[in-house]
């Protein structure tokens, strides 16, 4: 008698189960004569996987800055009317997943702030670790009353950076930025602009990726190389850790504000980045295939078929199959049209075991000994439900192989994992995790094997979520946390930054007021 589904499914099968949440996506373009807002739109579209909570674009025509942002996906926030209103030759775009500050319209980016000579619009990928210190620095320099974005309810570390960029009356924005950037700790890949110049900066560790590209009539900076590809820009190079890039009518120039102390996030190679991305010269897809090959050598098993968990497990599954000689197959089919859904199924539908995203190909897996390859295990709910589904469909054995080591530590540099208490690897040994999931066997790649697949020196990678060794010093626990600035005791005040350069028109009015 076949087993019936119990409806207790996970985020790959049903909504509601949160896995590792990506950082954010940033995009900037300087291109006179081009429709820069539309270039930014398509660049953000290519970076949508990095953040799905809100999206925004700011543009400048050399005299004024327009901005449009709202909650939702890039395709939900923008239409032709909004994009046509965002005129100019410089644009900065952002798609957000929140790592500091709640999921609110006020926290959407780009942020806006006054400078000594105009306005700055800023997008940030990463997470600062010294926000509490920066709160005090803002108060020390500009008074305890909140100003600008902070006064309008923005509770992100990005708003602190924007406030610090205000500077003094006798200093340029570039001079102010070069003084502020060395004061920031943690991960930051920044793309920002004033009325005439596009800027990009990356923290000294280079935790989050940032690349520079060339258009026929301009320049592009973006979180990942696919965003260059989609707008027809050629890849020039990575923005270096500790580097500030400035692009204006006089061309592109580079200034170093700190010496590089490379500690790039290894989880970008495992999961976060698109497979068609290239990070520091290494193809992400090739790295993931190699992780699968190494995993097959480290954890061989007799089986009939290797299948991936779509889509993130596919490259590693290809590598595992190639190395092991076990045939590769598609044992699961994915509904390509299911995105984020906020409609919760009824109890009746849950009891029927509705599967919104994945469904097994029964004729492929029935009676087979399966190797199921996935990129990571966080809470374990995803894999537990998947294994149950495969057994219901007739799989004879289910052997799980994971192309990253056990996740045991939280990330403070821009990824929102579950808490330590929720991470399944903290409470159970590997064989106990396998039993908990209902797998016949479980194997994780070693940290050494994962790093070898990236072809990067281990000394230049951050693997803190696997090892607990943080390359950037952390402050006390009470100075960390997603909602730190919502609890800060800095008095709220009225906006006093005089955003005189902000033009309010169709597509620009949402800069200061929710639509």
Instruction: Please say whether the beta carbons of 463 and 469 come within 8 A.
Output: yes
Residue 363: which of 322, 326, 330 has the closest Cα? 330
Per the listing, tokens 């009325």 go with 195
pLDDT of residue 499: 40
DSSP label at residue 328? B
Residue 497: which of 232, 119, 124, 89 has the closest Cα? 119
Query: Which distant-in-sequence residues (6+ apart) come within 8 Å of 413 by Cβ?
Result: 126, 127, 129, 186, 187, 207, 208, 265, 462, 464, 472
Q: Is 462 annotated as belonging to a binding site?
A: yes
Q: How far is CA 198 from the centre of its chain?
A: 22
Q: Is 459 annotated as belonging to a binding site?
A: no
Q: What is the per-residue burial (b if ≥16 Cβ within 10 Å, else e) of 92-104?
A: bbbbbbbbbbeeb
For residue 460 the two structure tokens come to 């230049």
Q: Is 265 annotated as belonging to a binding site?
A: yes
Q: Is 184 left (phi over 0), alpha (psi -120 to 50) or beta?
A: beta
pLDDT of residue 370: 98
Report the chain's C-alpha Rg in angstroms: 24
Q: Is 374 annotated as belonging to a binding site?
A: yes
| Phi, psi for 453 (deg, rounded to 5) | -65, -25
DSSP label at residue 14? S
DSSP label at residue 4? P
pLDDT of residue 497: 43
Per the listing, tokens 């078929």 go with 305
Vertex 72, ends 135 and 132: CA angle to 5°?
Answer: 10
The mean pLDDT values, 10 residues at a time, for the chain of 515 residues are: 32 43 84 97 95 93 94 92 96 82 76 91 94 87 74 83 89 95 96 97 97 97 97 98 97 97 96 94 97 98 96 94 97 70 54 65 96 92 88 97 95 80 88 96 98 98 95 80 56 42 37 39
Q: Is 375 annotated as belonging to a binding site?
A: yes
pLDDT of residue 214: 98
pLDDT of residue 150: 80
pLDDT of residue 498: 41
For residue 176 the two structure tokens come to 């102010």
Instruction: Please say whether the beta carbons of 142 and 163 come within 8 A.
Output: yes
Residues found in the chain: 515
Catalytic residue set: 24
Residue 98: which of 481, 444, 499 has the closest Cα? 481
pLDDT of residue 475: 81
Instruction: Please say whether the beta carbons of 112 and 120 come within 8 A.
Output: yes
């Amino acid at each position: 008698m076949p087993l019936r589904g119990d409806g207790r499914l996970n985020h790959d099968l049903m909504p509601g189960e949160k896995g590792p949440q990506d950082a954010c996506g940033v995009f900037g373009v300087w291109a006179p004569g081009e429709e820069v807002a539309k270039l930014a739109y398509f660049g953000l579209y290519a970076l949508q996987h990095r953040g799905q909570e809100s999206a925004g674009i700011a543009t400048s025509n050399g005299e004024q800055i327009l901005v449009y942002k709202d909650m939702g996906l890039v395709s939900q926030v923008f239409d032709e009317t909004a994009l046509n209103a965002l005129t100019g030759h410089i644009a900065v775009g952002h798609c957000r997943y929140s790592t500091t500050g709640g999921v609110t319209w006020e926290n959407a980016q780009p942020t806006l702030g006054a400078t000594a000579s105009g306005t700055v619009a800023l997008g940030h990928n990463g997470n600062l670790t010294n926000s509490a210190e920066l709160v005090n620095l803002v108060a020390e320099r500009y008074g305890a009353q909140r100003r600008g974005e902070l006064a309008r309810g923005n509770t992100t570390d990005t708003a602190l950076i924007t406030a610090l960029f205000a500077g003094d009356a006798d200093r340029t924005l570039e001079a102010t930025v070069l003084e502020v950037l060395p004061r920031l700790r943690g991960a930051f890949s920044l793309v920002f602009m004033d009325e005439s110049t596009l800027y990009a900066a990356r923290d000294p560790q280079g935790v989050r990726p940032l690349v520079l590209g060339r258009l026929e009539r301009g320049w592009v900076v973006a979180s990942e190389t696919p965003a260059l590809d989609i707008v027809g820009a050629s890849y020039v190079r990575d923005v270096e850790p500790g580097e500030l890039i400035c692009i204006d009518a006089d061309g592109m120039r580079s200034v170093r504000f700190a010496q590089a102390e490379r500690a790039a996030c290894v989880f970008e190679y495992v999961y976060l980045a698109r497979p068609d991305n290239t990070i520091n010269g290494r193809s992400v897809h090739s790295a993931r295939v190699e992780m699968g090959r190494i995993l097959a050598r480290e954890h061989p098993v007799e089986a009939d078929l290797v299948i991936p968990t779509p889509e993130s497990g596919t490259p590693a599954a290809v590598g595992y199959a190639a190395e092991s000689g076990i045939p590769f197959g598609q044992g699961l089919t994915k509904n390509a049209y299911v995105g984020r859904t906020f409609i919760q199924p009824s109890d009746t539908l849950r009891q029927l075991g509705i599967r919104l995203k994945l469904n097994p190909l029964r004729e492929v897996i029935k009676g087979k000994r399966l190797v199921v390859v996935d990129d990571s295990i966080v809470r374990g709910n995803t894999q537990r439900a998947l294994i149950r589904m495969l057994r219901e469909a007739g799989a004879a054995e289910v052997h799980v192989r994971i192309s990253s080591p056990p996740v045991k530590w939280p990330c403070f540099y821009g990824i929102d994992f579950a808490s330590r208490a929720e991470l399944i690897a903290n409470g159970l040994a590997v064989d106990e995790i396998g039993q908990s999931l209902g797998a016949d066997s479980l194997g994780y790649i070693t940290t050494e094997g994962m790093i070898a697949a990236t072809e990067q020196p281990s000394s230049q990678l951050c693997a803190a979520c696997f090892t607990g060794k943080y390359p950037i010093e952390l402050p006390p626990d009470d100075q960390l946390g997603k909602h730190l600035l919502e609890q800060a005791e800095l008095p709220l005040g009225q906006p006093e930054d005089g955003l005189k350069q902000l033009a309010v028109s169709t597509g620009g009015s949402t800069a200061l007021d929710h639509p």
